[in-house]
Chains A and B, each alone.
Chain A
Amino acid sequence: MREPFERIVAEHGDVVWRVCRGLLPEHDAEDAWSETFLAALRAWDRFEGDRVRGWLATIAHRKALDVLRASARIVIPEEGVPDSPVPPAGRDLDLWAALARLPDGQRAAVVHHHLAGLPFDEVALVTGTTSTAARKAASDGVRRLRTLLALEDA
């Protein structure tokens, strides 16, 4: 017996947003969010298993890569590019901008582990690496983020 999909959106919409926004600029993240849930919706009557969050994070990760590939864009640090006129939470904006300055592997590991709350074995599945490598990337990423955020505070 599968849950009505609306319940999945209500429960995981926030996490999927953090994954999309953690990996993409704001406007692209909105596209990736709706494409992620549309793809999940299409497959929902065939979904097996109970790791819904990891499954959604995997789809979101692929959608984010699709968006980046489609726009054939080199990821430009967002520093100094306000993407909304009045940031609702300045601290968040700093975090997103700082995340954008991490190497791809560190960025993905930090997003999936620290923002989406996936355990490292699932982070490894999503990002196509090993659990050990994911743990190291997240740890290196957090260290680097601390430096970046401290510099911005100064």
Chain B
Amino acid sequence: MEAEPEVPNPPDAAPHLVVALDDAVAVIGGFPVLAGASLSVVAGEIVLLRGPNGAGKTSLLRLCAGLLPIARGTGSIFGLDLATERELIRPRVGMLGHRNGLYSDLTVAENVAFWGSTVGATNDEVAAATARLGVDGRLQHVAVAQLSAGQRRRTALACLVARRAELWLLDEPHAGLDAAGRDELDAVLTQAVDSGATMLVASHELERAGSLAHRTVDVIAGQVHDGGNES
């Protein structure tokens, strides 16, 4: 197994906590999808979430994105309370779930430009985002409906880059990508972290995602076991 990358913060520096969950519970339709999640993630970290299907990995990402209300326990993202300040958290978070959040009738360039425009991204930033994900050139003028699954995934990631997300929440980001696409994705994720982004990655591809991650956290039956950065 490859050596895990070094966490950006040196041990003696005060780490800037991006995700701080303490016994967080989230409920959907009366069913607790998270039944006590405790997790701390510092700035610049890539944390791999590992667990079987239905364990609560996606729910944990949705909670961190402010899409799921916190029913019990406490949680904050960038120091902002998940119970009361979700509207302030969301603009700083980018989530790539099972679906890509793209408009199939628009071209690649139009999709990236739309999502970039929501944060006031310039044309240059949008062009840089499409180039970085390899969806520039001829491809940028193609409607998303005509793209392969991997190309759509890369377009969705380009939208995240254009949106300048600080916390990336990625759910099976390698799904649908060919070998070259996976290598490109890993390079993009590494580059984003080098630029200051923090990432939570839920994946079943433990070897590939594990080689990117600084540490791995187990999600089992709605509970999160984090032995990493507990304060």
**Is the A/B pair a real complex?**
no
